[in-house]
Amino acid sequence: MDRILLSSPHMSGREQKYIDEAFATNWIAPLGANVDGFEKELAEYVGVKGATAMSAGTAAIDIALNLVGVDKDDIVFCSTLTFIASANPILYRGATPIFIDSEWETWNMSPQALQRAFKDAEKEGKLPKAVVIVNLYGQSAKMDELLAICNHYGVPIVEDAAESLGSYYKGQKSGTFGHYGIFSFNGNKIITTSGGGMLVSNDEEGIKHARFLATQALDTAKHYQHSVVGYNYRMSNICAGIGRGQLEVLDERVGQKRAIFERYEKELSPIDGLSMMPELENTFSNRWLTAIQLDPNKFEVTPYELIDALNAAKIDSRPVWKPMHLQPVFEGCKFYPHAEGEVISELLFARGICLPSDSKMTEGKQKYVIDTILQNLK
């Protein structure tokens, strides 16, 4: 049997039309009709005024932080339970990250931890220049509460929706709550461009400036002239063509991911001590990855031992993200726990496993995964 993957590219066949058009018109390098079309179509899908296609979601975060004014020696608050791409651009700007813990209902940024961080920052006379809020594994954070706090202090949000394209919160699409939102189209995401990302916003002037900065900040002149530092961050016309074909089947992919979660939930959630990643009331997760946690008081097997057992059975799985405040590269950075003596992100890291959620996985293969889990739970 072939290895069962965590989440791999799932081509629809529609991509080839756009790729062929790029070849036929010789628009191979960055820019072209596919880039323009992909930006327009994704902006319409999520319901914003503008979008800029980037070489990566990380690049989009970097540009977003630039646009909101993050500079050397500034402070940026950031979700701790995430992939490092959420936090690295803070360092690119020469700023200092302060990490904010999770809460149980979404596994995302804790409003009460964020509130304490802001109160301390206000006392110290140095508010953050931005807050990077992550929507983990497709689940939106508590945006109402987080927005209220950030708006009170007048600090912009960069919404890292890399994993949550197709999700929504109280009827509004994920990635559209912050001043800027970002999506990732890495090979493992719900749709892919092989690599790439998108910056979205209702700030049309901001999106226009993002496009300028991401294209080497080339001034309008007959000669090559540059007045500010720019970046080579634009998406290629070929990759954008893949994205256009993928976007046409996004809702189908969301349905497949949710069906995978529901089959896991039906078979695994009745087990005492095993819990599924929750879906907050009035939200809709794309369920990019199905994540579970094991209560160490109920099982002898540890998450790492279960991961090893699945690996031996040719099944991919992963631990939940290691929190950023535990990463060696961020040693010494300040961190705000959810509550005194309750660090939820560390508990989720210690207990959590991401299960195979490949949208191409058959029900038969998923049954094999479930049976293997059941055989190794003790």
The parts of the chain modelled with pLDDT lower than 50 are none
Report pLDDT for 258.
98
Report pLDDT for 115.
98
Task: Please give the structure tokens belonging to residue 261.
Answer: 């979660």
Report pLDDT for 82.
98
Report pLDDT for 378.
83
Supply the angle between the helices 143-153 and 111-124 in degrees, to the nearest 10: 10
Q: CB neighbours (10 Å) of residue 64?
A: 29
Report pLDDT for 1.
77
For residues 359 and 11, the answer to whether their CB atoms sit within 8 Å is no
Q: Where are the domains of the chain?
A: 15-249, 251-376
Give me the phi and psi of 199, to 5 degrees please: -100, 130
Report pLDDT for 29.
79
Q: How far is CA 202 from CA 133, 178, 179, 213, in A?
A: 18, 10, 8, 18
**Strand partners for 109:** 102
Note the pLDDT tens digit of each residue in 263-321. Answer: 999 999 999 999 999 999 999 999 999 999 999 999 999 999 999 999 999 999 999 99
Task: Please give the structure tokens belonging to residue 315.
Answer: 């099944």
* pTM flag (> 0.95): yes
Q: Which CATH code for domain 251-376? A: 3.90.1150.10
Instruction: Match domain 15-249 to its CATH number in 3.40.640.10, 3.40.50.300, 3.40.228.10, 2.40.50.100.
Output: 3.40.640.10
For the chain, strand residue ranges (E) read 50-54, 75-79, 96-100, 130-134, 157-160, 168-169, 172-173, 180-184, 197-201, 274-276, 283-284, 290-294, 318-319, 335-336, 352-355
Report pLDDT for 376.
97
For residues 231 and 4, the answer to whether their CB atoms sit within 8 Å is no
Alpha helices (H) in 3-68, listed in sequence order: 15-25, 33-46, 57-67
Report pLDDT for 30.
80
Edge to edge, the sheet with strand 352-355 lists 274-276, 290-294, 352-355, 318-319
44 by Cβ neighbours in 10 Å (0-12 / 13-18 / 19+) ranks as: exposed
